[in-house]
Amino acid sequence: MNRIGLDKKKAKKLAVELNDLLSNYQVFYMNVRSFHWNIKGAKFFELHLKFEELYNDLLLKVDELAERVLTLGETPTHCFTDYIKQSSIKEVKNVSDGTKCVASILDSFETLIKKQRALLDLSEAANDEGTNALMSDYIREQEKLVWMYTSFLG
The answer to whether position 2 is within a domain reads no
Q: Which domain holds residue 90?
A: 8-153
SS3 assignment for 26-67: HHHHHHHHHHHHHCECCCHHHHHHHHHHHHHHHHHHHHHHHH
CB contact set of 91 (below 8 Å; sequence gap of 6+): 27, 30, 31, 84
Model pTM score: 0.97
With 0-12 / 13-18 / 19 or more C-beta atoms within 10 angstroms meaning exposed / middle / buried, residue 4 is exposed
Domain count, the chain: 1
State whether residue 97 is helix, strand or coil: strand
Reading the chain (154 residues) residue by residue, the pLDDT tens digits are: 999 999 999 999 999 999 999 999 999 999 999 999 999 999 999 999 999 999 999 999 999 999 999 999 999 999 999 999 999 999 999 999 999 999 999 999 999 999 999 999 999 999 999 999 999 999 999 999 999 999 999 9
The answer to whether position 122 is within a domain reads yes
Q: Domain containing 38 — which CATH number?
A: 1.20.1260.10
The answer to whether position 51 is within a domain reads yes
